[in-house]
Structure 1
Amino acid sequence: MELRLLPRRDALVPLLMLLLLLVVVVHVHATPRLEMVVTSSAASGGGAGTTSRARAAPAPAAACASWRLGVETNNIRGWYGIPAECRGYVSGYMLGEQFRQDCAVVAREAAAYAEGLALAGDGREAWVLDVDDTALSNLPYYADTGFGAQPYNATYFDEYVANATAPALREVLELYGKLLALGIRVVFITGRHDYQREPTVENLRSAGYHTWEKLVLKPSSLGSSVVPYKSGERQKLVDAGYRIVGNMGDQWSDLVGAPEGERTFKVPDPMYYVA
Structure 2
Amino acid sequence: MIRSLLLATSLFVGGAMSPLAAMAAQPANVGDAILAASAYHDSGDYQHDFDVVVAQARQWIDETAPKTRRPAIVLDIDETTLSNWDEIRANDFGYIAAGPCDALPKGPCGADAWEKSGRAPAFASTRALIEDAQAHHVAVFFVTGRHEDEREATERNLHLAGIRHWDGLYLRPMTSHGYAALYKTPTRERIERKGYTIIASLGDQPSDLSGGYAKKGFLLPNPFYRIP
Q: TM-score range by the shorter chain?
A: 0.7 to 0.9
Q: Give, as a single letter, the amino acid of the residue that structure 1 aligns with 2:10.
A: V
Q: CA RMSD in A?
A: 2.4
Equivalent of 1:237, from 170, 177, 191?
191
> In terms of Rg, which structure is larger?
1
- TM value normalised by structure 1: 0.69
Aligned twin of 1:265 = 218
Q: Distance in 2 between matches of 1:100 and 1:33?
A: 32
1:198 to 152, 167, 170: 152
State the partner residue of 2:86. Answer: 140
**C-alpha contact 2:73 2:141 (8 A) present in aligned 1:** yes
Please, which runs of 5 or more residues in structure 1 have no aligned partner? 1-15, 37-53, 55-82
Aligned equivalents of 2:51, 2:26: Cα separation in 1: 29
C-alpha separation in 2, matches of 1:205 and 1:247: 21
Per-residue deviation, residues 169-205 of structure 1 (Å, max 9, x unmatched): 1221121111111111110000000000011000001
**Aligned AA (1:251):** Q
How many aligned positions are there? 207
Task: Find the counterpart in structure 2 of residue 64 from structure 1.
Answer: none
How has the CA–CA distance of structure 1 residues 118 and 132 changed in structure 2, closer, same or farther, with 3 Å as cutoff? closer
Cα contact 1:248–1:266 (8 A) shared by 2: yes
Runs of 4 or more consecutive aligned structure 1 residues displaced over 3 Å after TM superposition: 31-34
| Paired residue type of 1:28 | L
Q: What is residue 252 of structure 1 aligned with on the other side?
A: 206
* Distance in 1 of aligned mates of 2:43 and 2:166: 31
- Deviation of 1:93 after TM superposition, in Å, equals 0.8
Indicate the residue corresponding to 1:24 in structure 2.
10
Q: Following superposition of structure 1 onto structure 2, how do residues 46-65 of structure 1 map, counting pairs within 5 Å? A: none
Paired amino acid for 1:225 = Y
Residue 24 of structure 1: how far off its partner (Å): 2.3
TM-score of the superposition, structure 2-length normalised? 0.83
Give the match for residue 96 of structure 2. 153
Quick check: 1:34–1:84 contact (8 Å CA) kept in 2? no
Q: Cα gap change, 1:87/1:238 in structure 2, threshold over 3 Å: closer, same or farther?
A: same
Deviation at 1:120, TM superposition (A): 5.3
Distance, in Å, in 2 between the alignment partners of 1:214 and 1:107 is 20
Determine the C-alpha separation between the residues in 2 that align with 1:180 and 1:126: 9
1:68-105 Cα offsets, whole Å, 9 max, x none, are xxxxxxxxxxxxxxx33211110111222111110111
- AA of the residue aligned to 1:115: D
Q: Give the equivalent residue in structure 1 for 2:41.
A: 94
Contact 2:65–2:199 under 8 Å retained in 1 = no
Q: Distance in 2 between matches of 1:201 and 1:167?
A: 13
Partner of 1:214: 168
The corresponding residue for 1:227 is 181
Give the secondary structure class of the aligned counterpart of 2:54. helix
Change (3 A) 1:169 1:27: same
Unaligned runs of 5+ residues in structure 2 are: 12-17, 99-109
CA distance in 2, matches of 1:157, 1:127: 27
Identity of aligned residues (%): 30
- Compute the displacement of 1:27 (Å): 10
* CA offset digits 1:230-257 (Å, max 9, x no partner): 0010110111111101000000000001
Q: Which residue does the alignment assign to 1:162?
A: 116
Distance 1:27 1:181, change over 3 A: farther
1:112 aligns with 2:59: yes
